[in-house]
Amino acid sequence: MQRNEVVLVTGGAKRVGAVISRRLHGEGKHVVVHYHRSAESAEALVRDLNAQRPHSAACIGGDLLDTAGLDDLAARAIACFGRIDGLVNNASSFHPATLGHIDEAHWTDLIGTNLKAPLFLTQALASQLRLNKGFVINITDIHAERPLRDYLVYTVAKAGLAGLTRSLALELSPDVRVNAVAPGPVLWPDESEIDTFNAAERSRIVAQTMLKRAGTPEDVADAVCFLACHAPYVTGHILPVDGGRHAYL
């Protein structure tokens, strides 16, 4: 009997990450939900998934900025179900970093979560992914190709992640498929943390889409599911999920 494929989703407890976890689980995957500070949300999500299908979900905590700890995080992820077939590098930091005011903390956090962690976590899981003919899916951003003003370090990090996606597709071929999803206006940042995207700015951004509406976390999750489950001959590809906004930028 063929065993269920197991997918590790970083930042998989909340927001888009939780929807991705649910979508992959609905496709029949076992899911390992990674969290940093969202233990309660991760445990609640896992309880719900296991209620739907017993022994099909687990969660692990870890700080992705702790590069030295990523080998251990990878080992704990594998130990949950005895294997890892897929990795979704979803976890991300997002905050302004304006030229003239950028400091080491901006660089450490934004490069660390958006670029460094995906590289080193993929490296830690590479032998397992090769063994299982698995996949990696990175969550980039349409601004990896078109910079976002006042978000210089974030833009650089996501541009690096786009380059990493293509490079890993080459390095891990022919055994592992590596792709990315590049969301546009899908889920606005928490207003308590970032006040950049007020109502007028949100309207302006949505007006730049061809479909004249914001997307949903489900749109991103569906794209991830397509690349994970239904695109066996696709690798090195970055799929925009932005209502066509990239054509305007």
For residue 57, which of 8, 15, 92, 125 has the smallest C-alpha distance?
Answer: 8
Asked if residue 60 is part of any domain, the answer here is yes
Which residues are annotated as catalytic? 154
pTM, 2 dp:
0.94
The pLDDT score that the predictor gives to residue 183 is: 93
- pLDDT at 249 > cutoff 70: no
Which token pair is 89? Answer: 């590098």
Give the span between the Cα atoms of 85 and 7, in whole angstroms. 6
Q: What is the mean pLDDT of the chain?
A: 93
Note the pLDDT tens digit of each residue in 40-88.
999 999 999 999 999 999 999 999 999 999 999 999 999 999 999 999 9
| CATH code of the domain in which 143 resides | 3.40.50.720
What the block records as the tokens of 158 is 């996501």
Q: Establish if 236 belongs to a structural domain.
A: yes
- Within a domain: residue 145? yes
Query: What are the tens digits of pLDDT across the range 168-177?
Result: 999 999 999 9
In a domain, residue 1? The reply is: no
So what's the pLDDT on residue 212? 83
Residue 188, domain member (yes or no): yes
Tell me whether residue 14 is in a domain.
yes
Task: Say how far residue 152 (Cα) sits from the centre of its chain.
Answer: 20
Res 1 pLDDT > 50: no
Q: How many domains does the chain have?
A: 1
Domain presence at residue 99: yes
121 is written with which tokens?
């976590």
String of DSSP letters for 77-138? HHHHHT---EEEE-------B-TTS--HHHHHHHHIIIIIHHHHHHHHHHHHHHHTT-EEEE
Confidence of residue 29 (pLDDT cuts 50, 70, 90): very high
Q: Which domain holds residue 134?
A: 6-247
